[in-house]
Amino acid sequence: MRKLYVLAGFFSLFLSVANAQRVTGNVKDDQGKAVSKSTVSLLNARDSSVAKLAATDNDGKYVFIAEPGSYLVSVSHIGYAPAYSAVFEVSGPVTVSEIKLEKAAESLSGVTVSSKKPMIEVKADKMIVNVEGTINAVGNDALELLRKSPGVMIDKDDNISLAGKNGVQVYIDGKPSPLSGSDLSNFLKSMQSSQVESIEIITNPSAKYEAAGNAGIINIRLKKNKTFGTNGSVNLGYVQGIYPKYNGGINLNHRNKKINLFGSYNYNNGDYLMKMRSTSERFDTLFETNNRINANINSHSFKGGMDYFVNKNSTLGAVVTGNIADNKITTAGPMYFTYQPTNQLVKILRATNDNDRGSDNVNTNLNYRYAKPGGTELNIDADYGTFKITSDQYQPNYYYLGDGVTETSRVIYNMISNTDIDLYSLKADYEQNYKGGRLGIGGKIGFVNTDNDFKRYDVFTSGNKYDSSKSNRFKYEENINALYVNYNKQVKPGFLVQLGVRMENTNITGTSNGFREENGVFVTYDSVFNRHYTDFFPSASMTFNKNPMNQWTFSYSRRIDRPAYQDLNPFEFKLSEYAYMKGNTDLRPQYTNSFGVTNVYKFRLTTSLNYSHVKDIFAQLPDTIDKTKGFLTKKNLATQDIVALNISYPFQYKRYSFFANLNANFSHYQADFGGGDRKVDQNIFALVYYMQNSFNLGKDWTAELTGLYISPSVWQGVVRSDAMGSVDIGVQKVLFNKKLNLKVAYSDIFKTMKWGGSTNFTGGNARFNGHGELGQIKINLSYRFGNSQVKASRQRKTGLEEETKRANSNGNQQGGMGNK
């Protein structure tokens, strides 16, 4: 606690007092006449809470006295639809643009007005995919949700890229995940869409966010009930592809003036199938594989916590989240060896890999929040998390002559790998009004300790024999210390500036222990590497919104992507008889400088143009050993230059709404690893198009038609991918006073979500393709129970949150207005 007091004392040096200012404006009807006695609310832009209330006079005018900060104005009047101003900054006297009221439709008279979040919301710095409200998201896991999110691409190895850039940092509830590669993809596969409230795609994070993530941040927000009283919900889901899948969950919440208790539990079980085919040429041999991957995923996830409202400004909280998964994965299929000079099949390898994989994750968070409306705000978070990953693989390899009958040899392995990851962090963020703007400062200390113990056994009839030469223990310690300062201010009416810089000090130690062969003799080795470096990451943006109907934002940021611990381990892992993977201790961080401009026209059409230069980009490169055996390793490509264009537009006519998002990017990769076929010089144009059509069919029936198209692109700098896409349809029926919700969807109706690609790096021409279960029927049933009432102040806040987003000065616009 002493450190926290010192930190708070450090923040207190920045305290200052700001003078209140006048906010004036006027209200007229659609005929241009002044509207008197209208209720006018001054809302905090941050959370839509009411700062002050007023009423218009006989001339339709109103006046507020407000402290410096970000606000917007809402106006309501009997017989008229509510109206809102754009968001504005108070640093001196402000005159709000005239607000016009339109008469409410007669059909709305005397009924309760309700709204739902749009499927997609677009802001200048991020895009929000509201998973909770969409029909076609049912039955998906979190990785599949990302695959169908605008601008996101996932390759055959489940590597995530955004707008043509790899190095995406995945957050869960605002906290970065320490997992990467297959560990991250397996974790996301165990998380069901029923747990997810929204996905935030943040392409231009401010200095407040950690600098990791060259392409930006994907923040997966899980559901949390904010309703007063005691309430909850249950949900059941069923998916039928080639195999059936089941999921279900319960959510409970109790909230009053002093305390908020919440908890949830979700279960998921299902069998999955993926088919993969590949061909590759090495020296004089053609290799062909046809693999069938069967997976059974069985996972439990839970979340529980408490918020204690000490007073109107202070809150103490504690949250425990966890995920326990037990996955059984079987990969089976023959490999054919063809001698190319004679085109003769000379050998067949029949190999099966059975992997019993477990993953246990528990995270604990203690937090404190002090917030004074329109004034200071302090958030302190202490986190501890553990990941325990186990893998028990049994891999028999049987070799036959080309006739497929005569066995020539057999080799059987058993590989056991245990990984323990411990995370500790302390973070503080402080904000206050300062010289007419908003000043934010903060810091974080974080530690990640990883211990991976890989043991390889040769399996004989008499028993298993430990192979020390093919076993390895790798310990990895990472410490990152960070400080940041961020400041935003309305310099003059219609011109906002945000400036920030983040400093991160990184300290890494890796130790790899095992045996290696030297002159026919196995000797022990202890490979240790250390890295210590400090970087500065500036960010800036300028927003011109004098005309709220045509807003412009210019932005810049510098970011980093550090190598994952698995990519640094120099040990050579044998994936199969003809495939290896090896880490690279010389792998350097990759850095990105990004420049962007965003225009929001009439709160609807949003256009963003970004240029990024990536230095020392990571790429997973295929190479060869002994002419016929291949291995994968990651290296730093020289550079990557990317120009990305993103356009989104919503449209609504009566009961029909439409949202479209187009992301196009041009990338240039260039590197030289020795000339000839070891050079990379590629230009690639890629396009991702997403569209959603929503239909209000009446009598509480709604329907959705969504489509996704991903053009040919480049994976990992050296693999050219094929085009793929999908079309999904779904219907929804609301029953029993809107408490029961039934959703039915059919995904990939044309069975086109198939991936493929090719590469000729190092002269080894390779081609591969595959797909999961195409065309799946998904059913979800959810039921809400308990008290659904909220206090007036909270009700006003939550009721206005979605409408407020339309008026955000950073260019917020809603993709599809929802049904009202």
Does the pLDDT of residue 155 top 80, yes or no? no
Q: What is the mean pLDDT of residues 140-161?
A: 72
Ranges of beta strands (E only) in 106-255 are 120-122, 126-129, 152-154, 160-162, 168-172, 175-176, 196-202, 216-222, 229-240, 244-255
Could you count the other beta carbons within 10 Å of the beta carbon of residue 485? 17
Comparing C-alpha atoms, which of 583, 471, 449 is closest to residue 522?
Answer: 471
Which is higher by pLDDT, 790 or 147?
Answer: 147
d(CA 799, CA 378): 26
**CB-hemisphere CA count at 13 Å for 555?**
30
DSSP 4-47: HHHHHHHHHTT------EEEEEEEEETTS-B--S-EEEEEETTT
Q: Tokens for 108?
A: 């709305």
Contact 202, 211 (CB under 8 A): no
Residue 145 is inside which H or E element, if any? helix 142-147
SS3 content of the chain, % helix, strand, coil (to 5): 10, 65, 25
d(CA 125, CA 810): 8
Contact 262, 224 (CB under 8 A): yes
Q: What is the mean pLDDT of residues 615-621?
A: 75
Residue 532 is inside which H or E element, if any? strand 521-544
Predicted TM-score of the model (pTM): 0.73
659-688 tens-digit pLDDT: 888 989 888 877 665 555 556 677 888 898
56-70, 363-377, 473-487: segment of lowest average pLDDT = 56-70
Q: What is the mean pLDDT of residues 607-616?
A: 89
407-447 tens-digit pLDDT: 999 999 999 999 999 999 999 999 999 988 889 999 999 99
> Strands 639-653 and 550-561, how do they pair?
unpaired
d(CA 131, CA 684): 31
380-396 tens-digit pLDDT: 999 999 999 999 999 99
218-263 tens-digit pLDDT: 888 887 665 668 888 899 999 999 999 999 999 898 988 889 998 9
Does the pLDDT of residue 550 top 50, yes or no? yes
For residue 167, give the amino acid letter. Answer: G
Residue 726 is inside which H or E element, if any? strand 724-735
d(CA 810, CA 603): 10
For residue 386, give the amino acid letter. Answer: T
d(CA 499, CA 217): 19
For residue 282, give the amino acid letter. Answer: R
Q: What does the buried/exposed string (b/e) look like for 171-196 if buried means 16 or more CB atoms within 10 Å of the residue's CB? A: bbeebbbbbbeebbbbbbbbbbbbbb
263-286 tens-digit pLDDT: 999 999 999 999 999 998 877 889
> Strands 407-434 and 175-176, how do they pair?
unpaired
621-647 tens-digit pLDDT: 655 554 455 556 777 777 788 899 989
- Ramachandran sector of residue 801 (left: φ over 0; alpha: ψ -120 to 50; beta: rest): alpha
d(CA 796, CA 802): 11
